Amino acid sequence: MMMFIDAFPDAGLEAAVFAALVPNSADKPLQGLIEEIMGDHEMLTANQSGST
Residue 26 — φ and ψ, nearest 5°? -60, -30
What is the average pLDDT across 6-11? 80
Q: What's the pLDDT tens digit per position in 12-24? A: 877 778 888 899 9
d(CA 4, CA 46) in angstroms, rounded, equals 22
* pLDDT tens digits for range 29-50: 999 999 999 999 899 888 877 7
Distance CA 31, CA 37 (A): 10
